[in-house]
Structure 1
């Protein structure tokens, strides 16, 4: 079993460093995980490939916004923090759903704590992770029952794979938490796997940020600051 005691501080530190890593480097590290899993878990390999390809179109580029006074405004994305991926059920489709959320969370810039009792899934994934070029502590594993303890920490995203009834209880629990709002991504239809097939899944694990750079001496277009001229 790969279940272990989780140190949230390690997951948080791993997120801080990973979040500063450029998109191409994150993708390259995740591709190393994908290639290792291809040898033993080809279905999981395919899931990783799909979401890396979709995220490339969504997250790789910084978007230039209008700068009305001469400044440069950029819109980019960042990870939200530590994501808890909770897997209630043990089945092939549950593994696919979990892998989709794990991949989307990681490529978006988060670290992940995986709460699952599916021994086959966690052992194979952990073995591949240890051989990959992904940073230490970026992925951590613990038992399904430990998710309540994980949620007591400052997680910023939660992925759920399981029943609708338990998902409702989890959603209510997250709504009553103090502190930052936690986003919940749920896969409860393990036949259709609508969430796992969502090409925009990575967007559910990001936060948007803007960067403004003043490129003129007074912090903008000086002509717009003139008073009393004929042009203004």
Structure 2
């Protein structure tokens, strides 16, 4: 058991490291990789990939300038929250699972993909890495490990598609765990996907940060301060 826990810790640590590089690519580059992948997919699944990317580019990708004193530039921008567990009840549609995955990825998060069809999960991982997704950003994990991942203090959130009982169980697990508060993004209708199909679904996978640049520092050197709300 202890050996297994250490292995999961290594997976999460590697995901954290990969997330940093993936997040630095920016929304446009991440979306380009995902949209390229969509060209290989069936029409209904490709439409979900396109939908999630378009919403992220429209609602969270743009940097906003905020007022500040003379000689100071203040910027508000969005980035990923960290490592997300993406999981689903057995039998959920591929459209729903891909919608969860793409929303998390395009916003700059790393993903621990934990679904019943492990072969399908591995196929998705390989396809995306071949198209430029950074190695380690998607990690396929056995569905039996989902509880250990959810309760781990380093995971930033859980995207779940399934029934009400499953969502309630995940909510209880997240509420009882140690560490920072984690986000539960639950979809209870795997066919109509009203949550995943919302234009603002991507907002559940980002955190806002502010960046202040002072261009009046002594000697003309700029000092940089960044504040995040998801750390």
| Same fold, TM-score > 0.5, yes or no | yes
- Please name the residue that 1:78 is paired with: 79
Contact 1:113–1:139, Cα closer than 8 Å, also in 2: yes
TM-score, with length taken from structure 2: 0.83
Task: Please give the alpha-carbon distance, in whole angstroms, between the structure 1 residues aligned to 2:45 and 2:120.
Answer: 10
C-alpha distance in 1 between matches for 2:163 and 2:54: 29
| Distance (whole Å) between structure 1 residues aligned to residue 217 and residue 56 of structure 2 | 38
Q: Could you say what secondary structure the match of 1:24 adopts? A: helix
Aligned length: 209
Deviates more, 1:69-78 or 1:168-177: 69-78
Bigger-Rg structure (1/2): 1
Give unpaired runs (5+ residues) of structure 1.
219-232
Matches within 5 A, 1:187-198: 187-198=187-198
Most deviating of 156-165 and 121-130: 121-130
How far has the Cα of 1:153 moved from its partner? 5.1
Q: Distance in 2 between matches of 1:82 and 1:131?
A: 21
More displaced stretch, 197-206 vs 124-133: 124-133
Higher deviation after alignment, 70-79 or 24-33: 24-33
What is the alpha-carbon distance in structure 2 between the residues aligned to residue 60 and residue 103 of structure 1? 15
In structure 2, what is the Cα distance between the partners aligned to 1:207 and 1:24?
A: 17
User: In the TM superposition, what are the counterparts of 1:116-195 in structure 2 within 5 Å?
Assistant: 116-119=115-118, 121-151=120-150, 152=152, 154-195=154-195
Partner SS state of residue 124, structure 2: helix
Look up the match of 2:90. Answer: 89
Higher-RCO chain (CA-CA 8 Å, sequence separation at least 6): 1
Whole-Å separation in 2 of the counterparts to 1:105 and 1:54: 12
Name structure 2 gaps, 5 residues minimum: 1-6, 219-231
Contact 2:81 2:206 in 1 (8 A): yes
The offset of 1:55, in angstroms, is 0.8
Deviations 1:83-125 (A, max 9, x none): 1001112243xx2122111111111110101111125642542
Report the 3-state secondary structure (helix = DSSP H, G, I; strand = E; otherwise coil) of the residue aligned with 1:169: helix
Structure 1 contact 97–195 (Cα < 8 Å) conserved: no
**Corresponding position of 1:112:** 111
TM-align CA RMSD: 1.9
Q: 1-side partners of 2:23 and 2:63: how far apart?
A: 15
**Which range moved further: 55-64 or 189-198?**
189-198
CA distance in 2, matches of 1:48, 1:58: 16
Q: What are the Cα deviations for residues 158-194 of structure 1, in whole angstroms up to 9, with x where unaligned? A: 1011110111011011011111110110001223311
Matched residue SS, 2:165: helix
